Amino acid sequence: MAATAQTVAQVRDLGKYKHGWETEIEMETAPKGLNEDIVRFISARKDEPDWMLDWRLKAYRHWLTMTEPTWAMVDYPAIDFQDIYYYAAPKNTEGPKSLDEVDPELLRTYEKLGIPLKEQEVLAGVQGAPKVAVDAVFDSVSVATTFKKELESHGVIFCSISEA
């Protein structure tokens, strides 16, 4: 029983952020909760084809019929699926001409992560920065991929799983 209690405590701790900082940048979010409108919202933001939206809606409707398994016999608080944000992505902007035009919060995050100044320019998409192919992912969203056109000209197709 002690091992079970320890496992439950470890699982509860997984959701607690322990590093003491967050990056507050302008985000686009869907309203909290999950319903067909949210599924449609997410699919539209990802510019998905109709067949993908239909597949997502079918999966959502199936999920509604499911019950949470109890075979693990672990006691934990019920999950409120309507108290979760299912979509959040940094707002898109045109590429900056210098680091002065980059969101200061993003630059502070780069500093905390120990990213050198020249690499910050590449990650932020500053015009005239060195040619290094980088895919910057922020909050699980690819926010910038450098040199996509040049990579494509060499036969390298670089895209997110959503685009694929």
Same domain flag for 59 and 98: no
Global pTM? 0.54
**Amino acid code (one letter) for 120:** Q
Q: Is residue 8 part of a domain?
A: no
Domains of the chain: total? 2
**Amino acid code (one letter) for 37:** D
Same domain flag for 98 and 114: yes
43/57 Cα distance (integer angstroms)? 10
Single residue among 48, 68, 88 that ends a domain in this structure: 88
Give the position of tokens 């672990």.
Answer: 74
Single residue among 72, 88, 104 that ends a domain in this structure: 88
Same domain flag for 120 and 67: no
Single residue among 88, 110, 142 that ends a domain in this structure: 88
Total number of residues shown for the chain: 164
What's the pLDDT score for residue 19?
Answer: 65
What's the pLDDT score for residue 85?
Answer: 92
Same domain flag for 102 and 127: yes
If we measure between CA atoms, which residue out of 139, 106, 108 comes closest to residue 17? 139
Q: Is residue 159 part of a domain?
A: no
pLDDT along the chain (164 residues), means of 10: 64 64 77 97 93 97 94 87 90 66 75 68 62 65 70 74 68
What's the pLDDT score for residue 72?
Answer: 84
Phi, psi at 158, each rounded to 5°: -115, 110
Same domain flag for 148 and 106: yes
How many Å from the N-terminal Cα to the C-terminal Cα in the chain?
Answer: 46
Element (H, E) at 52: helix 50-65
What's the pLDDT score for residue 60?
Answer: 98
Same domain flag for 82 and 119: no
What's the pLDDT score for residue 113?
Answer: 72
Domain extent at residue 125:
92-153
| Packing angle, helices 117-124 and 104-112, rounded to 10 | 130
- Cβ-proximal residues to 33 (8 Å cutoff; 6+ apart), any chain: 81, 82, 83, 84, 86
Q: Is the distance from CB of 85 to CB of 34 less than 8 angstroms?
A: no
